[in-house]
Chain A
């Protein structure tokens, strides 16, 4: 009793300090534009449920000894569902005891039958390590009656054989499963013969390219398990997304029961959205969000609130760390109070920081997303985020690092000037409401699918009548045989290459085609790599390539060897590639008219929304040199680089002639409006699709008379001449323009069809973004840089949106 009083006193104390800070901030925010939301999440009581009757007494005793005598309702429900043999996805916030949801039924099954095996997949090695400690503790309490091991790139070779035999629970990651376990499945016979459970934690991270790969890795895993006579059951855990059930069942290609009623208690939490004050209203320039983050973090630290600061890049982490360590210098000889944490730090150092955070010795930490998932750092008092992490799910996970179990806490998100950040901070209801974020995968992307089919054939000959996921294989196998990868003998396709296919397939990219960057300042040294398509814009000849805060001048680009040679320089400018992109429609998958206007008075205004297959041809035709800080254009250069063609999928909006003619603007204003609209649409689309800006490309092109038809010069326009562009040559008018949003990956990664479906939401949110922006004539936060110098671009974009019915 006295203890709980003490806790409450401490809690209210920290709450008082949090309020003090918010009041302080509010007092400087007369216009109310800075603190755009203070969201109060009240404390919640735990909802308890009885432990399942089938739970073995020794397991109950082990959990009791750890202080867990009762289960939260969602834990009990999950255990029941798993025990009942159903695939489940558990959707609960950070720190709600989700690991128990899978550990309990799995361990119970192992205790029932010592042959039972389970495979746990975590997206990163660090997360697996973190889970290992918990399982080791349980194993000790259960007289070491089961074996649990991590199996990843760091596992010593001499330990591997024992793990294969004795590991009841093997903790690994998708990459290791892909290259290290599946191709050597005969050594894992014991595990596969008895494989009953597969746990997929942090399921929401398996989306886009990574998720599409994982889905194929799981197809291979199920195939191998079936070969050994087992058909494992899936237990998935996900952070909150709009479609956890859809994502899970798409990934495991089976029905899944969604469990999203959280029974865990939560302490009171205050969530603040903070928009740095405007410095120049006309240009829409705000105070630096990095500085503001540092300032806010200092307020928390000054009041002795243990604080975690998240940034979105390694560089920013270091910058913020410098600011905060200057503000809170360490006592002479003592370690600093504020520490940094990111990939690239040594494991020992990371463990030491984690411990320091848990026992309170370290008062503040600045981290990249490395601390966002899982790693146990105890509960902190406050989270300050420098910039929107990109998804609502990540934002909540980062916020969850403060106030895990008890004691009230505070989270502040400081918006940058990017459109996404600005949208979020100005539309708090979007953020705090029901999650609008959908996670999508496209496992049947041909490039990805074929690569995994190769791996599958290596693992086990492919039967002539076999299906992979739902995909029919004969045609693909024929193609693979023609290319020399497979050979059909009897009823099976066999792998006929010396090479090991999984080695050349990375789960993090669509193709393995990339450029290696070689620093030739001194002794040649490889400093990094970029994938093929970004290589054209980032390491073209004469480009300034930025790497870990250093500048490199690209001396030479070797296309055959896929190498870019760079030298370290100190320039006062960076380069921006000028890319000329054209899209050709190959095939329309679905289309619909957008004629809300027609329902009213004017029957002539028309538009259409479409999605389908396209061919994207882009060419980098030159580059601009842009001065740091002032962003002046201080010169440009012409480049002769090869064209890059990509077959992918796109979603597009066609503005028909009647609509174009109804716009009361000049030609160039209309064009600016269209470009601005597309820019904003892309920003909103990344929000809905939980993806990155780089995942979607944009282009405007003339609507073709019919799909696939080729007219003149192979159907493509010659790229414009840079000199003419500089001289301000008149723009060509589009008769009926298509505004394309295409998947920036060969084969497409599954964004186009959802965008087609969510078209009206996309337009509505785009309108909110542009209309809600405080700038007067368009800025990088809404219609993007194309509006520069255009007086009516923003207005035109809004008018087009209105004509489209938004």
Chain B
């Protein structure tokens, strides 16, 4: 085959259609002075048996350490954050017990990676791995950087040494992203086994429980702004104003390895440092919030609506961690302090559940009924007024559009329907008031029917499925209740006759 024909072939291949503009220079960054990039990035050369990589070390005075070994208050709070059953294992490998490890601030290692993509799989690399630990009253950050893919083994070995020294890994979304990705990278070496941390504390889930009610997004940068109040001049004094857009990070790295300048890497390195500082500050903040639960004067005076919502968030966190009693108390406190409409309903729903679980049926029924009560101005109501249809329609459409809100997917309707169902169960089985059971079930059915006829709903199959599911559930229940009622009537035919007259 002649060369020209091969050239022809290649030029027509769809599979070779460039997906991006190739970098201007095609030389490798290693071609020039190998020390140049290191100097530019303020890095030193890390060397081990697999070769070289760069290490950037920086100490920050803030955030300050959030844990001391003898701080009973926070130690107790920490226990609540640990994964379930964490305290049982640990002794197997002659390691200190998990609780002791977690309580030892010297064991904590914060970790955050910058990667060549979010797709995962064996072709996604972590080109910058940042770790941090408490030191001298501040935070010591250490970042491992590979100037090229050939430096990956060396980088991973250095990281492995840090992981060996500190066995408590603290991340933000690291359980589903950073750590599995690093595990893959370690496995790809066929030489360094991934060193599973003894404890992995991922702050994403507690953060979601705490702040989803208040914030549309619980990304770390959002938490820094709205929770940690990071700003220049304050104690946490960095600024994300000139932060790099994280979706650009892979391309910045690809351009660099293809011979581009090292300059665009500086904001990436800074971004990683801020993420680590934010992560460390967040750990302290969450610990303090939980610790404050146990204080005598808790919850104290609630000054702003945000504080009330955060209390509700705290009750969610406590509920998920098996602290039902504390959760109920906190949720009640949030409700008393006054919550905006949607949150108010969500809190009542939670309270009803918590009460039911605690065996306080009276309390539960009270909450469910309050969810259906007309006094609850914004909740779906029994009366068939046009105004309420409109309100429902609004709820449904907003839910359907799937807004980023915590209360997406017609959750008001769902809360009302759940309340109906729970009340029906209560009246049918426990209170043995079939008439009332049938009444609340019919009420629920009316809500679904109204939602179904509301405009726009038909366009969204998810809502259709939602309505269909509830119709089936409630109709089935109603049929059974009425069968029962008929059965009872049959047992007391005279009574029935009498009543009809």
Q: Which residues of A contact B (CB under 8 A)?
A: 183-187, 189, 227-228, 446-447, 450-451, 454, 457-461, 479-480, 482-485, 487, 489-490, 492, 494-501, 511-513, 523, 586-587, 613, 615, 645-647, 708, 746-747
Contact = CB atoms under 8 A, between A and B. Distances in A.
Interface string B16-43: 1111111000001000000000000000
A497 B22 CA distance: 12
B476 interface: no
Interface of B: 1-2, 5, 8-10, 12-22, 28, 116-123, 125, 148-150, 183-184, 187-188, 190, 250-251, 254, 257-258, 459
Given A447-B14, A482-B22, A490-B150, A186 B184 contact: yes
A337 B19 CA distance: 56
A610 to B, nearest CB: 16
Nearest to A491: B150
B122 A489 contact: no
A454 B187 CA distance: 21
B122 A708 contact: no
B20 to A, nearest CB: 5
B2 A492 contact: no
Given A186-B184, A484-B22, A490-B148, A497 B117 contact: yes
Contacts of B28: 489
Contacts of A458: 121-123
Given A498-B118, A587-B1, A446 B19 contact: no
Nearest to B180: A187
A459 B184 CA distance: 11
Given A484-B22, A487-B258, A496 B14 contact: no
A587 to B, nearest CB: 5
Given A459-B122, A489-B257, A492-B149, A613 B5 contact: yes
B438 to A, nearest CB: 33
* 10 tightest A-B CB contacts, nearest first: A458-B123, A498-B117, A490-B150, A450-B15, A500-B119, A489-B149, A186-B187, A183-B121, A495-B123, A483-B18
A227 B187 CA distance: 11
Nearest to A185: B122
Nearest to B17: A483
Given A461-B149, A494-B149, A523 B459 contact: yes
A186 B121 CA distance: 8
Nearest to B16: A483
A508 B115 CA distance: 32
Given A495-B123, A497-B117, A587 B5 contact: yes
A499 B117 contact: yes
A708 B2 CA distance: 11
B149 A479 contact: no
B14 A184 contact: no
A766 to B, nearest CB: 31
Given A458-B123, A498-B116, A498-B118, A480 B8 contact: no
Contacts of A613: 1, 5
Nearest to A615: B8
A420 to B, nearest CB: 31
B122 A586 contact: no
B115 to A, nearest CB: 9
Contact of A497 (B10, B16, B19, B120): B19
Given A489-B148, A489-B257, A186 B15 contact: no
Nearest to A455: B123
Given A446-B9, A451-B15, A746-B14, A487 B149 contact: yes
A578 B274 CA distance: 63
Given A457-B123, A489-B150, A186 B22 contact: no
Contacts of B254: 484, 487, 496-497
Given A184-B120, A490-B148, A492-B150, A485 B12 contact: no
A449 to B, nearest CB: 8
Nearest to B51: A490
A647 B8 contact: yes
A186 B15 CA distance: 26
A487 B116 CA distance: 13
A527 to B, nearest CB: 16
Given A492-B150, A496-B254, A586-B5, 13 more contacts: A184-B184, A186-B184, A460-B188, A479-B16, A480-B16, A483-B19, A484-B254, A490-B150, A494-B125, A497-B254, A498-B250, A499-B19, A511-B14
A751 to B, nearest CB: 18
Nearest to B28: A489
A513 B17 CA distance: 12
B121 A184 contact: yes
Nearest to B194: A186
Contacts of B150: 489-490, 492
A502 B371 CA distance: 50
In this complex, which of B8, B119, B250 has the most chain A Cβ atoms within 10 angstroms of its Cβ?
Answer: B119
B25 to A, nearest CB: 13
A186 B18 contact: no
Given A446-B9, A484-B22, A746-B12, A496 B119 contact: no
A183 B122 contact: yes
A479 B118 contact: no
Contacts of B2: 587
14 contacts: A183-B123, A186-B183, A186-B184, A186-B187, A228-B190, A446-B9, A447-B15, A489-B28, A490-B149, A490-B150, A587-B1, A647-B9, A647-B12, A746-B13
